[in-house]
Amino acid sequence: MKRTSAVLSGIAALALSAGFAPSAQAIDNPGTLIVGGGDATESYEWMASLQREGSHSCGASLIDEQWVLTAAHCVVDAAPADLGLRIGSPTWNSGGTEAGVSQVVVHPDYESKTPNGDIALVKLDHAVSETPIEIAGASGPDGTPSRIIGWGVTCPVRGCGQPPEQLKELETNVAPDSQCTLSSIDGPSEICTSSKELLANSCFGDSGGPQLEGTPGDWKLTGVTSRLGSPVPVCGTAPSVYTDATAYQDWISSTIS
């Protein structure tokens, strides 16, 4: 997966015309969504619902007692006062710990589009007691088992339903970058992620939510949901693209310190 894939400009334009960003572009109506998954089978106390006006918008992961990691396109147009979080609950609208936002830091590569940089840090207005998730030292090679989790509608077309309250999960794996070339994947900084299940993967937008590697109870964060890996506007018809959080370790560490 650690290799850069070139894409013809005509294919990139097709992806944009279908409403998906082949590189770092703002995505409308960001939120979280797992198509083809099931209810969460364990507690993910570091999982967060990033919210606007009291409604779930995107996923996020607590990586420090006062910082969460999410996708840049979820927050690039938002002021801290626009956002709130619920952390450590399997339902996005109850339980867990609520927090406001004091700072939003979007990676400079996203705003300059060199290459993608769809990753952002959000500082909470107070420290929380939930245990953060550790970022892995590196993401695994092609074929590595992984898991994605999130809230959202469970049907594969934009606008087809309302997001469920219950957190969802899906078993996935790291796929060759060649399977995501229609989305202009950048191999060194992104992960192509597929599922063995038919029409099952992330979707509009599982945005900001985590990709995990490891075992139940011992997960490490490797990816942040970015976009579909194909211009076809039906979720699960191709692998999805995740920002490789492990490639941004230095930026994350310097920002939160």
pLDDT of residue 33: 41
Please state, in angstroms and rounded to a whole number, the distance separating the CA atoms of residues 32 and 45: 17
Burial of residue 81, with CB atoms counted within 10 A of its CB: 0-12 exposed, 13-18 middle, 19 or more buried: exposed
Give the pair of three-digit tokens for residue 132: 């953060």
What SS3 class is residue 253?
A: helix
pLDDT digits (tens, 9 = 90+) for 125-137: 999 999 999 999 9
Position 123 confidence tier, pLDDT thresholds 50, 70, 90 = very high
Q: Which of 4-13, 54-63, 106-115, 231-240 has the lowest mean pLDDT?
A: 4-13
Please state, in angstroms and rounded to a whole number, the distance separating the CA atoms of residues 84 and 232: 32
Q: Which residues are catalytic?
A: 73, 118, 207
CB atoms within 10 A of CB 166: 12
pLDDT digits (tens, 9 = 90+) for 84-112: 999 999 999 999 999 999 999 999 999 88
Evaluate if residue 1 carries a pLDDT over 60: no
What pTM was computed for the model? 0.82
Asked whether the beta carbons of 194 and 239 are under 8 A apart, the reply is yes
Evaluate if residue 32 carries a pLDDT over 50: no
Where is 74: in which H helix or E strand?
A: helix 72-75
38-42+134-247 CATH choice from 2.40.10.10, 2.60.40.790, 3.40.50.150, 1.10.10.60: 2.40.10.10
Please state, in angstroms and rounded to a whole number, the distance separating the CA atoms of residues 220 and 216: 10
Q: Name 225's Cβ contacts closer than 8 Å, sequence gap at least 6.
A: 32, 59, 71, 148, 150, 202, 205, 206, 207, 208, 209, 210, 211, 240, 242, 243
Does the N-terminal peptide bond of residue 115 adopt cis geometry, omega within 30 degrees of 0? yes
Does the N-terminal peptide bond of residue 132 adopt cis geometry, omega within 30 degrees of 0? no
For the chain, percent of residues with pLDDT exceeding 70: 72
CATH architecture of 47-132+251-256: Beta Barrel (2.40)
Give the pair of three-digit tokens for residue 236: 């699960």
pLDDT digits (tens, 9 = 90+) for 189-241: 999 998 877 555 566 647 899 999 999 999 999 999 998 776 666 665 668 89
Position 11 confidence tier, pLDDT thresholds 50, 70, 90 = very low
What SS3 class is residue 199?
A: coil
pLDDT of residue 197: 72
Place of tokens 């970015």: 226
pLDDT of residue 69: 98
DSSP 131: P
Sequence ranges of the chain with CATH classification 2.40.10.10: 38-42+134-247, 47-132+251-256
pLDDT of residue 17: 18
pLDDT of residue 195: 83
Dihedral angle computed from the Cα positions of residues 103, 70, 150 and 138, in that order, rounded to the nearest 10 degrees = -140
Handedness of CA 72, 95, 204, 176 (dihedral sign): positive
Evaluate if residue 175 carries a pLDDT over 80: yes
